[in-house]
Amino acid sequence: MSTRIVVAGTDTDIGKTIFSAALVQALDGYYWKPIQAGLAGETDSEIVARLSGLPALRILPEAYRLNTPASPHFAAERDGFEIDVLRLRPRDVPGPLVIELAGGLDVPLTRRLLQIDVIAGWKLPVVLCSSTRLGTINHSLLSIEALKRRGVPILGIAFIGDEIPDTESIIPAFGGVRRLGRLPNISELNSDTLRKAFAANFSIPDILGVGASGP
């Protein structure tokens, strides 16, 4: 089985789509966003296609394309249906697969089911993306605790934003997870600048846990 990695976030709009683009580019893999909520403007899959530079066939079609930029359960209801979690089974592809979740871990997919409970059933390793802005310590530690409580394997935490050394050390220490690196803000964001920023701050073997010994 090829490498499959779930990219989760502590919140929405923290940069996990940009991180996903960088990760799938570095892996030379495939990208899948199971649920896209909000279709006005550029979708996450379109952003990843543009920033990764991967062939169109490497960007897998979403299982759900919802019109309203809202929690998936509500966006689906606005479109007149309920999300069927059987359609969210991870795809089999002939190479590494990066799966980007919608919003934060605890967003409802239906009135009875949270996103985190679905990914717990996948039993795939997670990279948790976290911003370095104010409030991230609480959000990050709660997200780590929720993943661990459900037995979801955590590859580590990837920070996104300005350098805040204390934040970047205390979250892995209390959470008992590895700090994988930090993707800085990129003023002129394109495929080349993203590739260089990711290569300067992350290591694919380290993300995959090759030779890792702990937090």
Residue 21 vs residues 108, 152, 162, 191, 199: alpha-carbon distances, Å = 25, 23, 19, 9, 13
Asked if 33 is an active-site residue, the reply is yes
From first CA to last CA, the distance across the chain in angstroms is: 26
Residue 75 vs residues 35, 72, 118, 207: alpha-carbon distances, Å = 10, 5, 18, 33
Q: Which of 33, 123, 148, 196 is catalytic?
A: 33
Residues 9, 16: contact at Cβ < 8 Å? yes
Number of helices (H) and strands (E) in the chain: give both, helices first: 8, 9
61-92 burial by CB neighbour count: b if 16+ within 10 A, else e? ebbbbbebebbbbebbbeeeeebebeebeeee
Distance separating alpha carbons of residues 105 and 143, to the nearest angstrom: 7
Tokens of 183: 């993707």
Residues 185, 165: contact at Cβ < 8 Å? no
Tokens of 157: 């935490």
Which residues are known catalytic residues?
33
